[in-house]
Amino acid sequence: MASDPGVLRAEPDGVSIVRLACYRGRAELGARLVELGAEVDPFDAAALGDVDRLRDLLDDDPDAATAEAADGFSALHLAAWFGRPRCAELLLARGADPEQVAGNGTDLRPLHSAAAAGQTVIAHLLLDRGADIEAPQQAGVRALHSAAHRDDAAMVALLLDRGADPAAATDDGRTARDLASDPAVLALLP
C-alpha cells in the first residue's frame, strides 16, 4: 500500500476493499484499511459496525439507507449478515426497508441474512419492523430453513415463536426438519 496507495480504492467486482476484507472474515483488516486511508461508504460502515460513521454518511445522504451496493445488498443486509445491531437499528430508524430484496438474483431479504448468520437480536429487530417471516429467497428457502440447516436452536426457536411455519418447504420439497441434524433443533421442529 505504501508503494501503491490506489490499492485502498480498489473495488474488485464493485466491492470495496474494506467490504471484501469483511466478506473474507477479516473485519479487523477492513478497519485497518480505513485507518490507512480507505474511503468508507454506508455499506462499508454497516459491515464494519461503525455506527458513528454510518450516521454521518446517512446525514449527508438520507437515500443511502435504502440504496443498493454493486453486489446487490443494502446496508441493512450487511448489518444483518455481519451482526451489527446498532447499525441495523440506525438504518431502520432512517427508513431502511426490512423487506428490501437484494438486487443480485438471490432474493435475499435482511431477515435471511440475519438467520443465516445466527443474528437473533437483529432478527428480532427486523421482525418487529415488519419483516415477512415466510418470505422465500432463491430456491424457496425461508429464514427457518437457513436456521435449521445451521442447527441454530436459538434462531429456530425465535422464528417458531414468531410464527414461522415449520411445514413450509423449499422448492425441492425439504422442510426445516429435513435440513436439521442436531437433536436439540429437531426437538423444536414438529
Question: Do 107 and 141 touch, CB atoms closer than 8 A?
Answer: no
Query: Is residue 82 pLDDT above 60, yes or no?
Result: yes
**Average pLDDT score over residue span 168-189:** 98
Which pLDDT band, with edges at 50, 70 and 90, does 126 fall under? very high
Query: Is residue 109 pLDDT above 80, yes or no?
Result: yes
Cell 464494519 appears where?
48
**Which neighbouring-strand residues pair with 68?**
74
Q: Cα 47–147–163 angle (5° rounding)?
A: 110
Q: In angstroms, rounded to a whole number, what is the distance separating the alpha carbons of residues 99 and 171? A: 21
Where is average pLDDT lowest: 14-28, 41-55, 162-176? 14-28
pTM of the model as a whole: 0.91
Task: Output 126 or 7, whichever has higher pLDDT.
Answer: 126
**Average pLDDT score over residue span 142-171:** 98
**Which neighbouring-strand residues pair with 74?**
68
Per-chain mean pLDDT for the chain: 93
Query: Is residue 9 pLDDT above 70, yes or no?
Result: no
pLDDT of residue 36: 83
pLDDT of residue 39: 87
Predicted confidence (pLDDT) per residue in 25-72, tens digit: 999 988 988 888 888 999 999 999 999 999 999 999 999 999 999 999
Give CA 55 to chain center in angstroms: 18
pLDDT of residue 2: 52
pLDDT of residue 3: 54
